[in-house]
Amino acid sequence: MAVSFFEAFTPQEVARISAAGTRVRLPQGWSPIWESTPADKAYIILAGEVSVRHGREEIARLGAGDIMGETAIVNHTLRTATLVALTPLDLIHLTDEAVRRLTEQLPSFRTALDEVVLAREIAHTGE
């Protein structure tokens, strides 16, 4: 996987992905995604850091350039983790509909999303 999710795209594709979402800022301590909830949104982190928690255990940290919340959308499942902002966050909020539309309209987005999902599944299972 690329260092930044956006590195997989041309400047025109980055602009298109950004335009498909809404820029939001969230305070430290906020949880934009909760474990066992429906997959209704994903975020691309522009600035800040989040803790990925399964139950009470931190299983990963994500930062600028990472996408979060995509796996449950792609796999059509409930969330498997809670995300907690360790710092204030600057994000692009994508609805599940926007994610699906981008995967249909931009083959490069679908490929990048699939690579992230696969890498996270491998990391989670330890294979």
Residue 1 pLDDT > 50, yes or no?
A: no
What DSSP designation does 33 have? Answer: B
Q: What is the pLDDT of residues 86-124, one digit of tens each?
A: 999 999 999 999 999 999 999 999 999 999 988 887 776
Write the CATH number of the domain with boundaries 5-125. Answer: 2.60.120.10
Q: In the chain, what percentage of residues exceed pLDDT 70?
A: 94
Residue 124: predicted pLDDT: 67
Write down the pLDDT at residue 46.
95
Q: What is the pLDDT of residue 27?
A: 98
Percent helix, strand, coil in the chain (nearest 5)? 40, 30, 30
Query: What is the pLDDT of the chain when averaged over all its residues?
Result: 91
Q: What pLDDT is recorded for position 121? A: 78
Average pLDDT over residues 63-80: 92
CA-to-CA dists, residue 58 to 1, 48, 61, 81, angstroms = 21, 17, 8, 9
- Distance between alpha carbon 70 and the CA centroid of its chain, in Å? 5
pLDDT at 125: 62
Average pLDDT over residues 23-27: 97
pLDDT at 3 > cutoff 90 = no
Dihedral of CA atoms 92, 112, 73, 81 in degrees, nearest 10, equals -80
